[in-house]
Amino acid sequence: MKKEVILAISIGFALGLIITFGIWTANQSLKNLPQPSPKAAVAPSPSPVSPTTSLVISSPDDESLVATDSITLSGTTTPKATLLILSENGEQTATADASGNFSLDIDLITGFNTITVYSYAADGQETSRALTITYSTAKI
Amino acid sequence: MILAFLLTASLLAQASNATDSAIRQAVKDQVAAIKTAVAKRAYVGPISAKSEASITITNLGNQTRTAVVAGDATIKLMGGKEGTFADLKVGDFVIAMGYVDSQNSLATSRLLVIAKPTPDKRLVLSGRVTDTTAASFTLETAAKETWTVKSKTKDLKVGNRVTIVGTSSTALNLTAKLVVPLTTP
Q: What is the pLDDT of residue A119?
A: 97
**Does the pLDDT at position A48 exceed 60?**
no
Tell me how crowded residue B75 is: count the other CB atoms within 10 A of its CB. 20
Closest CB from B11, B19, B41 relative to A65: B41
Contacts of B4 in chain A (CB under 8 A): 13, 16-17, 19-20
Question: Is B42–A138 a contact, with Cβ atoms under 8 angstroms apart?
Answer: no
Structural domains in chain B, sorted by start: 40-114 (2.40.50.140), 122-182 (2.40.50.140)
Q: What is the pLDDT of residue A31?
A: 62
Please state whether B100 falls in left (phi above 0), alpha (psi between -120 and 50) or beta.
beta
Contacts of A46 in chain B (CB under 8 A): 59-63
**Min Cα separation A140/chain B (Å):** 6
Report how far residue A10's alpha carbon sits from residue B46's, in angstroms, rounded to the nearest whole number: 83
Residue closest to A111 by CA, chosen among B117, B83, B101, B54: B117
Question: Is B165–A36 a contact, with Cβ atoms under 8 angstroms apart?
Answer: no
Query: Cα–chain-centroid distance for residue B25?
Result: 29
pLDDT digits (tens, 9 = 90+) for A93-103: 999 999 999 99
- Phi, psi (5° rounding) for residue B153? -120, 15
Tell which of A33, A42, A59, A112 to mutate to test the B interface (max B CBs under 10 Å). A112
**Does the pLDDT at position B137 exceed 60?**
yes
Q: What is the pLDDT of residue B23?
A: 84
Q: What is the pLDDT of residue A6?
A: 84
pLDDT digits (tens, 9 = 90+) for A50-80: 445 799 999 999 999 999 999 999 999 999 9
pLDDT digits (tens, 9 = 90+) for A34-45: 444 333 333 334
The pLDDT mean for chain A works out to: 84
pLDDT digits (tens, 9 = 90+) for A10-29: 888 888 888 888 788 777 76
Residues sharing a CB contact under 8 Å with residue B172, sequence separation 6 or more, in sequence order: B145, B146, B147, B148
Tell me if chain A has a CB within 8 Å of the CB of B95: yes
Q: Which residue has the higher pLDDT, A6 or B74?
A: B74
Q: At what angle do helices A2-31 and B2-37 cross, to 10 degrees?
A: 20
**Any alpha helices (H) in A32-59, and if so which ranges?**
none
**Does the pLDDT at position A107 exceed 90?**
yes
- The helix/strand/coil state of B23 is helix
Contacts of B5 in chain A (CB under 8 A): 16
**Any alpha helices (H) in chain A, and if so which ranges?**
2-31
Q: What is the pLDDT of residue A35?
A: 45
Question: Is B177–A91 a contact, with Cβ atoms under 8 angstroms apart?
Answer: yes
The pLDDT mean for chain B works out to: 89
Please state whether B38 falls in left (phi above 0), alpha (psi between -120 and 50) or beta.
alpha
Report how far residue A32's alpha carbon sits from residue A72's, in angstroms, rounded to the nearest whole number: 42
Mean pLDDT of B121-129: 96
Q: What is the pLDDT of residue A37?
A: 38
